Amino acid sequence: MSVFTLLAIVALLYRLVIFPGYKCMNTALFHLSSQQDLLQVRAEEMRRFQTLTGKIQKLKASMAETNNVLFSKDEATGFLKLLPGLVNQTGSVLINMLPHDMKDVLLDTMATGNSEQEPDARRSYMHMPVQIAIRGEYDEIVNFLQRLEEREQLIDVSELSIATAVRSPAEVDASFTINLYVYENQEI
């Protein structure tokens, strides 16, 4: 065989086999590179998704913990029904109990200028003020207030006023407002 024939066969092999194979290999490398880039993007998205999922789980746990400290609307109503019995257990006498409508805590703090939240933010808890007047010996009144403090749910006492009872100098009349903090059921 001549050199010319050999060169012609090599040139023909190059054009028909080697060059198309080379182009196919370059195309495959390009697709491999783009698939690896896409895989990295999806892996980063998965890490962000897992991070957000973890934050959501922590938020749900925090909300559940908060809800354990606050009253539900039904629990607040039930507590108000039990309140006269709690007063009687301490030896005091309930003179007056006046529950008020629930108030949105956010609106109250905005009225006093203590809120940094947006006015349109969704409100998740409220407070229910209850004005109470009781009569009993001083230690009975203190015992009642301690029992309120021992409750799992958040209750605060304000506007406390104690005066000697007109009927008996051994007794005192106490009037105060308790605030029951109530959560609205919300799902994440």
pLDDT in tens, 98-119: 988 877 755 444 445 554 544 4
pLDDT in tens, 139-179: 999 999 999 888 888 889 999 999 887 778 888 999 999 99
Predicted pLDDT at 25: 87
Sole residue written with tokens 């021992």: 150
What percent of the chain is predicted at pLDDT more than 90?
41
Where is 112: in which H helix or E strand? helix 105-112
Q: Domain ranges in the chain?
A: 1-69, 73-183
Where is 99: in which H helix or E strand? strand 93-99
43 or 185, which is more confident? 43
**Whether the Cβ atoms of residue 43 and residue 175 lie closer than 8 Å to each other:** no
Please tell me the distance from the alpha carbon of residue 107 to that of residue 145, in angstroms, as a whole number: 28
**Whether the Cβ atoms of residue 123 and residue 104 lie closer than 8 Å to each other:** yes
**Whether the Cβ atoms of residue 48 and residue 67 lie closer than 8 Å to each other:** no
CATH superfamily for 73-183 is Ribosomal protein S6/Translation elongation factor EF1B (3.30.70.60)
